[in-house]
Amino acid sequence: MNNFLYLYDFFNQFFLSHPYILESILLWSVIWQGFALWKAAQRKEKLWFIVFLFIHTIGLLEILYLFVFSKYEKKTIPKDKQIMEVKAEEKKSSN
Protein backbone atom coordinates (compact mmCIF):
# COMPACT_ATOMS: atom_id res chain seq x y z
CA MET A 1 0.00 0.00 0.00
CA ASN A 2 2.90 2.28 0.73
CA ASN A 3 4.19 1.88 -2.86
CA PHE A 4 0.79 2.89 -4.21
CA LEU A 5 0.80 6.09 -2.15
CA TYR A 6 4.35 6.87 -3.29
CA LEU A 7 3.33 6.37 -6.93
CA TYR A 8 0.21 8.49 -6.44
CA ASP A 9 2.26 11.32 -4.92
CA PHE A 10 4.82 11.09 -7.71
CA PHE A 11 2.23 11.39 -10.49
CA ASN A 12 0.32 14.07 -8.62
CA GLN A 13 3.43 16.23 -8.26
CA PHE A 14 4.59 15.49 -11.81
CA PHE A 15 1.33 16.50 -13.50
CA LEU A 16 0.89 19.53 -11.26
CA SER A 17 4.34 20.78 -12.23
CA HIS A 18 3.87 19.85 -15.95
CA PRO A 19 0.19 20.39 -16.78
CA TYR A 20 0.84 20.64 -20.53
CA ILE A 21 1.76 16.93 -20.63
CA LEU A 22 -1.57 15.90 -19.15
CA GLU A 23 -3.41 18.27 -21.51
CA SER A 24 -1.54 16.79 -24.49
CA ILE A 25 -2.45 13.24 -23.43
CA LEU A 26 -6.10 14.21 -23.01
CA LEU A 27 -6.21 15.93 -26.41
CA TRP A 28 -4.53 12.92 -28.08
CA SER A 29 -7.02 10.56 -26.46
CA VAL A 30 -10.10 12.62 -27.32
CA ILE A 31 -9.10 12.93 -30.98
CA TRP A 32 -8.53 9.20 -31.46
CA GLN A 33 -11.62 8.33 -29.46
CA GLY A 34 -13.71 10.62 -31.65
CA PHE A 35 -12.46 8.98 -34.85
CA ALA A 36 -13.03 5.49 -33.45
CA LEU A 37 -16.54 6.31 -32.20
CA TRP A 38 -17.41 7.81 -35.58
CA LYS A 39 -16.11 4.76 -37.47
CA ALA A 40 -17.88 2.30 -35.15
CA ALA A 41 -21.14 4.22 -35.52
CA GLN A 42 -20.82 4.25 -39.32
CA ARG A 43 -20.25 0.50 -39.36
CA LYS A 44 -23.15 -0.03 -36.89
CA GLU A 45 -20.90 -1.89 -34.45
CA LYS A 46 -22.65 -1.30 -31.15
CA LEU A 47 -20.21 -3.33 -29.05
CA TRP A 48 -17.18 -1.38 -30.24
CA PHE A 49 -19.05 1.90 -29.78
CA ILE A 50 -19.86 1.04 -26.15
CA VAL A 51 -16.28 -0.07 -25.48
CA PHE A 52 -14.87 3.21 -26.82
CA LEU A 53 -17.44 5.22 -24.91
CA PHE A 54 -16.63 3.73 -21.50
CA ILE A 55 -13.05 2.42 -21.69
CA HIS A 56 -10.30 4.98 -22.11
CA THR A 57 -6.93 3.63 -23.26
CA ILE A 58 -5.15 6.87 -24.23
CA GLY A 59 -5.88 6.14 -27.88
CA LEU A 60 -4.20 2.73 -28.08
CA LEU A 61 -7.30 0.57 -28.55
CA GLU A 62 -8.82 3.22 -30.79
CA ILE A 63 -5.79 3.21 -33.11
CA LEU A 64 -5.85 -0.59 -33.26
CA TYR A 65 -9.54 -0.53 -34.14
CA LEU A 66 -9.12 2.10 -36.86
CA PHE A 67 -6.12 0.52 -38.57
CA VAL A 68 -6.61 -3.20 -37.89
CA PHE A 69 -10.07 -4.33 -36.77
CA SER A 70 -12.19 -2.02 -38.93
CA LYS A 71 -10.47 -3.28 -42.08
CA TYR A 72 -12.29 -6.59 -41.83
CA GLU A 73 -15.55 -6.68 -43.72
CA LYS A 74 -18.61 -7.73 -41.80
CA LYS A 75 -20.01 -10.94 -43.21
CA THR A 76 -23.70 -10.47 -43.77
CA ILE A 77 -26.10 -12.72 -45.57
CA PRO A 78 -28.59 -10.99 -47.87
CA LYS A 79 -32.23 -11.25 -46.78
CA ASP A 80 -33.32 -13.27 -49.81
CA LYS A 81 -30.60 -15.83 -49.19
CA GLN A 82 -31.63 -16.09 -45.52
CA ILE A 83 -35.23 -16.73 -46.54
CA MET A 84 -34.13 -19.41 -49.00
CA GLU A 85 -32.06 -21.13 -46.29
CA VAL A 86 -35.00 -21.11 -43.86
CA LYS A 87 -37.29 -22.61 -46.51
CA ALA A 88 -34.71 -25.30 -47.31
CA GLU A 89 -34.46 -26.20 -43.61
CA GLU A 90 -38.26 -26.37 -43.34
CA LYS A 91 -38.38 -28.77 -46.29
CA LYS A 92 -35.74 -30.99 -44.69
CA SER A 93 -37.58 -31.07 -41.39
CA SER A 94 -40.94 -31.87 -43.02
CA ASN A 95 -39.49 -34.88 -44.92
- Expressed as residue numbers, the domain containing 28 is 2-94
Average the pLDDT over 72-85 and give the result.
Answer: 65
Number of folded domains that form the chain: 1
Sequence-distant (6+) residues with CB within 8 A of 45 are 74
More confident residue, 49 or 78: 49
- The pLDDT tens digits of the residues spanning 14-52 come to 989 998 998 999 999 999 999 999 999 999 999 999 999
Please determine, for residue 6, whether its predicted confidence score (pLDDT) is greater than 90: no
**How far is Cα 85 from Cα 8, in angstroms, rounded to an integer?**
59
More confident residue, 47 or 88: 47
Q: How much is the pTM?
A: 0.64
* Helix, strand, coil share (%) of the chain residues, nearest 5: 80, 0, 20
How confident is the model at residue 26, as a pLDDT?
92
Least confident piece of the model among 38-42, 46-50, 62-66, 86-90: 86-90
The answer to whether the CB of 74 falls within 8 A of the CB of 48 is: no
